[in-house]
Amino acid sequence: MAARGRGARRSRSGSPAWIWLLTGILIGLGLAWYLFAKGYIPQPPRAMTEAAESPGQLDSAAGEEVAPRTGDPKRSKYDFFTVLPEMEVVVPEQELSESAQSGSPQAVAPGSGSSYLQQVGACREVTDAEQMKARLALLGVVARVQTVTVNGATWHRVRAGPVGSAREADDMRTRLAENDIDSLVLKDQ
C-alpha cells in the first residue's frame, strides 16, 4: 500500500490584514494631528470673502451692482413646519374667558382664517402621544399628533381642535380640566 504523502505545509508569509488596517488608521491620525498642530486650515477664496464683507459694490466680472444680502441666510427657505408654529398665538386665559362670556358665540367663517387649538401635551415618545390622543377620544375630543423637531430634539405634540369660537375653546378647556388634563389655548391665524 502506498503511503500517503504529507502535503506541503502552507506557510503564511506577511502580516494579518488587521495589522495593515491599524497601521493605516494610525498613520492617518498622525498626519491629521500634524496638520492640525501646524495650523493648516484651508482658507476660502479671497474673492468670496471680499464680496461677503462689502455688499453693494460693483461686481468686477459682470460690471453690475451686487445686491446686498437681506435677511437671515438660515431662513432663506420657507418650510411649512417652521412657518406654521410662528403663526400660532397663545391666548391668555382671561381673554378667553371674557370672549366666551360676551354674549353670543362668535362663530368664525371658514374663510376668515382664525380658529382656536388646544395643545394638550408634548411627548418625546410617539406611543405616549398616541395614548393621550386615545384618552381624548374617549372624552369625545378629536385630537391629532404633530411631530416637530425643536433644538435637535423630536417632540410629538398632541393638539385638539380646531374650534371656531372662543366660547367653544373655553368649553373644551373646561371639559379637559374636569378630567385632569391641562391644556394651552392657541389662536391659529
Residue 119 lies in a domain: yes
Residue 24 lies in a domain: no
Q: Contact, 168 vs 160, CB < 8 A?
A: no
Residue 113 lies in a domain: yes
User: 90-106: buried (b, 16+ CB within 10 Å) or exposed (e) per residue?
Assistant: ebeeeebeebbeeeeee
Residue 7 lies in a domain: no
Q: Give just the sign of the alpha carbon dihedral 126, 132, 135, 139.
A: negative
Which runs of E-coded beta strand occur in 19-174?
88-90, 115-123, 143-150, 153-163
Residue 91 lies in a domain: yes
Q: Contact, 129 vs 154, CB < 8 A?
A: no
What is the residue range of 153's domain? 80-188
Say what the pTM is. Answer: 0.43
Domain count along the chain? 1
pLDDT, tens digit (0-9, with 9 covering 90-100), for 53-110 = 555 554 444 445 555 555 554 554 455 555 555 555 566 666 666 655 554 444 444 4
Residue 95 lies in a domain: yes
Residue 136 lies in a domain: yes
Give percent of the chain above pLDDT 70: 53
pLDDT, tens digit (0-9, with 9 covering 90-100), for 103-122 = 444 444 444 556 888 888 88
**Any idea which of 31-40, 66-75, 153-162, 170-179 has the lowest mean pLDDT?**
66-75
The CATH number covering residue 92 comes to: 3.30.70.1070
Residue 46 lies in a domain: no
